[in-house]
Amino acid sequence: MRRSHVSLIAIVLMLGSSVSSAWGADKLRVVTTIPDLKSLAEAVGGDRVEVDSLTRGTQNFHEAEVRPSMMLKLRRADLLIENGLDLDAWVDVAVLGANNPKIIRGAPGRVDVSRGIPVLEVPSVRVDRSMGDVHPLGNPHFSLDPGLAPLITQTILDGLARLAPDHRAAFERNRRDFLSRLDGEMSRWTKTMEPLKGAKVVVFHPDFIYFVHRFELVQAGTVEDKPGIPPSPQHVVRLIRQIKEEKIKAILVEPWNDVKLAQRIAEEAGAKAIVFASAVGAVKGADNYIAAIDYNIKTLAEALR
Ligand SMILES: [Zn+2]
């Protein structure tokens, strides 16, 4: 009895020390809303940060559910990095529940990486629900456009350095190293995609527009005729005809889309449905920022060949 009591205390002490070393006193506790930003925050923060994401890459970020576990992470956070543009607006509810003044909107511990992003697909008319899940502030899925990484990592660096000014030089060094690695990859990616310039693709849901623009592809259509709403049979028939006529080779799908429907359409039209790494961790092998983009380039180049 007494022995088990003692060992229980030992276990509790061990747990306590492993928790405090994971959340080392000198490390900034960073929470991001999506895994792409976790990967970038780790690249900039290096060993001076401990980063946790509120969602996983296999999730539809628009529809993330606020859970008590999110509030727990946010309660201990020094810095909250959000995507913005309404992708992760649910985080405000979680922050409210976390009761942590350090990360409320306007506090030094709050970073919105959409600041300064040249936003695509900003609606020119007032958006309402009858139009489907139209992105009301423009397309928020910019995080995996490698051309925007310099801007996003600068915003992250500013946030980290605001809280830990002594480490600014280290953050700058980390960011420079990361961007020079990314640069090397970028020239490889550009070379791979060069002969495919102007190629038409169909997307299931309009989530790849930044990628499509960056590599000078053309988005010829969407499987959903209204974003977020299953397509009508007439739309599917029209789309199959269009894919055949325009000899489109690829349909880009996210893991949570109706992959079977995309495959059926692709099969009938003589194209290929490919599940894209729509985020870090969305597919196997896409477990960090560079790996996710690399996965997309490889899969797409193969499908378009
Ligand atoms: Zn979206």
**What does the pLDDT read at residue 305?**
87
Place of tokens 């995507």: 83
Distance between Cα 76 and ligand 1 center (Å) = 29
How much distance in Å is there from the Cα of 177 to the middle of ligand 1?
31
pLDDT value at residue 43:
98
Question: Rounded to the nearest whole angstrom, what is the distance from the C-alpha of residue 228 to the centroid of ligand 1?
Answer: 8
Q: How far is the CA of 120 from the centre of ligand 1 (A)?
A: 12
CA of 103 to the centre of ligand 1 (A): 24
**Residue 173 Cα distances to 80, 169, 177, 179, angstroms:** 22, 6, 6, 10
Cβ contacts of 162 within 8 Å, gap of 6 or more: 108
Distance 82 CA to ligand 1 centre (A): 15
Longest Cα–Cα distance of the chain, Å, equals 79
CA neighbor of 113 nearest in space, from 289, 305, 295: 289
CA of 44 to the centre of ligand 1 (A): 26
168 CA distance to ligand 1 centroid (A)?
34
Placement of tokens 């070379």 in the chain? 191
- Over its length of 305 residues, how does the chain's per-residue pLDDT go in tens digits? 344 444 444 444 444 444 444 445 689 999 999 999 999 999 999 999 999 999 999 999 998 999 999 999 999 999 999 999 999 999 999 999 999 999 999 999 999 999 999 999 998 887 776 776 678 899 999 999 999 999 999 999 999 999 999 999 999 999 999 999 999 999 999 999 999 999 999 999 888 999 999 999 999 999 998 878 899 999 999 999 999 999 999 999 999 999 999 999 999 999 999 999 999 999 999 999 999 999 999 999 999 98
Distance CA(134)–CA(126), nearest Å, equals: 10
The alpha carbon of 55 and the centre of ligand 1 are apart by a number of angstroms equal to 15
| pLDDT at residue 232, as a whole number | 95
Instruction: Look at residue 13 in the predicted model and tell me its pLDDT.
Output: 43
pLDDT of residue 15: 42
Ligand 1 centroid distance, CA of 165 (Å)? 35
Q: 108: how many CB neighbours lie within 10 A of its CB? A: 12
Q: How far is the CA of 227 from the centre of ligand 1 (A)?
A: 8
Q: From ligand 1's centre to the CA of 61, what distance in Å?
A: 8
- Distance from Cα 196 to the centre of ligand 1, integer Å: 26
Q: How many residues does the chain have?
A: 305
Place of tokens 């628009």: 62
CA of 197 to the centre of ligand 1 (A): 25
- The pLDDT of residue 12 is 42
Cα–Cα distance for residue pair 109/90, rounded to 1 Å? 18
What is the 86 CA–ligand 1 centroid distance (Å)? 9
pLDDT of residue 16: 42
DSSP sequence for the chain: -HHHHHHHHHHHHHHHHHHHHHT-TTSEEEEESSHHHHHHHHHHHGGGEEEEESS-TTS-GGGPPP-HHHHHHHHT-SEEEE--TTTTTTHHHHHHHHT-GGGSTTSTTEEETTTT---S---SS---GGG-S--BTB----TT-GGGHHHHHHHHHHHHHHH-GGGHHHHHHHHHHHHHHHHHHHHHHHHHHGGGTT-EEEESSS--HHHHHHTT-EEEEESSSBTTBPPPHHHHHHHHHHHHHTT--EEEE-TTS-HHHHHHHHHHHT-EEEE---STTSSTT--SHHHHHHHHHHHHHHHH-
- Give the pLDDT score at 25: 63
Q: Please give the distance, rounded to the nearest whole angstrom, from the Cα atom of residue 203 to the centre of ligand 1.
A: 12
Please give the C-alpha separations between residue 24 and each of 19, 48, 91, in angstroms, as whole numbers: 8, 9, 25
Q: How far is the CA of 60 from the centre of ligand 1 (A)?
A: 8
Gap from CA of 85 to ligand 1 centroid (Å)? 10
Q: How far is the CA of 48 from the centre of ligand 1 (A)?
A: 32
Ligand 1 mean position to 206 CA, how many Å?
A: 7
